[in-house]
């Protein structure tokens, strides 16, 4: 059967805008039950991983399909630690980026540039796959922190080998060693954002991976998709919303005005979850821990009041806080600028993208969806003088 005949046969199928609800792949990486508020990585509940695991252990689980042994985890952590530095050519390239450029654009360009230095494509070689996984997990945080420093005219802060994955990023970002609680909270945040089935950026990664290009291009394409405000930028917009509200006393009027205009409440509602996002519950607990150690945040009180009001008015529609509702408050308390919220999301989601990349390679078939043609046929060509 030719490609054209496949397309013609598929016209009879029902068109779903955005492919909503249409399975695009089979996967054993993660599972979501939006009615019950369940998220699992390889069958393990996210609450269990947040309480007992670390981000790199969760990344290993996602990518290789099972929890590592003590030796396997140690070797993986050491490999990542030894590859945190980026080549001076990439640093020099990043110094040429405009200071006003968005960090997500800088990250996409930098991730793609990694492929120039590691251009060999041995996609059937386990050693190559492991090396690519290690490099991307190790270097993406360094590039995010480096751009934050360089756009101010400062040199990047060198990684510290004596710090954990999460603590090292916060150190490179602020040139100040975080407290143990801050490092722990950020590590849990990374774990929560590491994977979430086939969302827009993961689908972008799958489509790119199916062409058998290199993994750096796969991650760069996913970063570009995540950068869109309908996907990765919501936590930044939550902070803007809370600042606009300004006071607990203004919550009800703000919500009423938004609902009357039929506008979204940022950080509330989810395409899948019809109950409170389990990651939001975990993040809320982390926020409270942070505030106890380093002082409260008045915007947290606004967020609590807004959640209560949203539940009263919108719970019957299945609208509750999602992962973005509290993550921005946590990130800001950790000294992360708001325009770096989405790049931080990307640091975590690299694990999920790579897991899907590796899974795609095992059963690869290039993505080639069809379309429903809505144009005309046999239209005449009109000469220039007659137009």
Q: In whole angstroms, what is the distance from residue 165 CA to residue 190 CA? A: 10
Active site residue 270: yes
Pair 27, 198: CB distance under 8 Å: yes
Q: What residues does 40 pair with on adjacent strands?
A: 31, 45
Active site residue 92: no
According to DSSP, the β-strands at 38-41 and 44-45 are: antiparallel
- Angle of CA points 224, 228, 230, to nearest 5°: 145
Q: In whole angstroms, what is the distance from residue 128 CA to residue 124 CA? A: 8
Q: Which of 214, 270, 277, 356 is catalytic?
A: 270
Neighbours of 129 (CB within 10 A): 19
Q: In whole angstroms, what is the distance from residue 258 CA to residue 305 CA? A: 16
Q: Which of 324, 339, 356, 377 is catalytic?
A: 324
Please give the positions annotated as active site.
270, 324
């Amino acid at each position: 059967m030719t490609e054209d005949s496949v397309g013609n046969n598929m016209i009879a199928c029902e068109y779903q805008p955005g492919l909503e609800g249409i399975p695009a792949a089979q996967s054993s990486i993660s599972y979501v039950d939006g009615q019950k508020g369940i998220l699992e990585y390889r069958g393990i509940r996210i609450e269990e991983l947040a309480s007992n695991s670390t981000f790199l252990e969760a990344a290993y689980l996602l990518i290789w399909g099972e929890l590592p042994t003590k030796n396997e985890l140690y070797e993986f952590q050491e490999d990542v630690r030894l590859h945190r530095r980026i080549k001076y050519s990439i640093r020099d390239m990043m110094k040429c980026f405009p200071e006003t450029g968005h960090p997500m654009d800088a990250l996409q360009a930098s991730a793609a540039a990694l492929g120039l230095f590691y251009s060999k494509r041995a996609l059937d070689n386990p050693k190559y796959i492991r090396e690519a996984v290690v490099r991307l997990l190790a270097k993406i945080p360094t590039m995010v922190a480096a751009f934050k420093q360089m756009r101010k005219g400062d040199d990047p802060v060198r990684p510290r080998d004596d710090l954990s994955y999460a603590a090292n990023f916060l150190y490179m970002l602020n040139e100040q060693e975080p407290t143990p609680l801050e490092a722990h909270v950020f590590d849990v945040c990374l774990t929560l954002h590491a994977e979430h089935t086939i969302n827009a950026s993961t689908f972008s990664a799958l489509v790119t991976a199916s062409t058998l290009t290199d993994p750096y291009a796969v991650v760069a394409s996913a970063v570009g998709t995540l950068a869109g405000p309908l996907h990765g930028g919501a936590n930044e917009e939550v902070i803007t919303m809370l600042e606009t509200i300004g006071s607990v006393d203004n919550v009800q009027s703000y919500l009423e005005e938004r609902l009357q205009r039929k506008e979204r409440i940022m950080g509330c509602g989810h395409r899948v979850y019809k109950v409170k996002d389990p990651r939001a519950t975990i993040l809320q607990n982390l926020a409270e821990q942070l505030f106890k150690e380093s002082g409260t945040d008045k915007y947290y009180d606004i967020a609590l009041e807004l959640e209560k009001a949203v539940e009263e008015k919108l719970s019957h529609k299945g609208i509750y806080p999602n992962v973005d509702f509290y993550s921005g408050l946590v990130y800001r308390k950790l000294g992360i600028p708001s325009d770096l919220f989405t790049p931080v999301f990307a640091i975590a989601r690299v694990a999920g993208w790579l897991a899907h990349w590796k899974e795609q390679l095992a059963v690869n078939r290039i993505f080639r969806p069809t379309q429903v043609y809505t144009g005309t046929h046999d239209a005449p060509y009109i000469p220039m003088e007659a137009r």
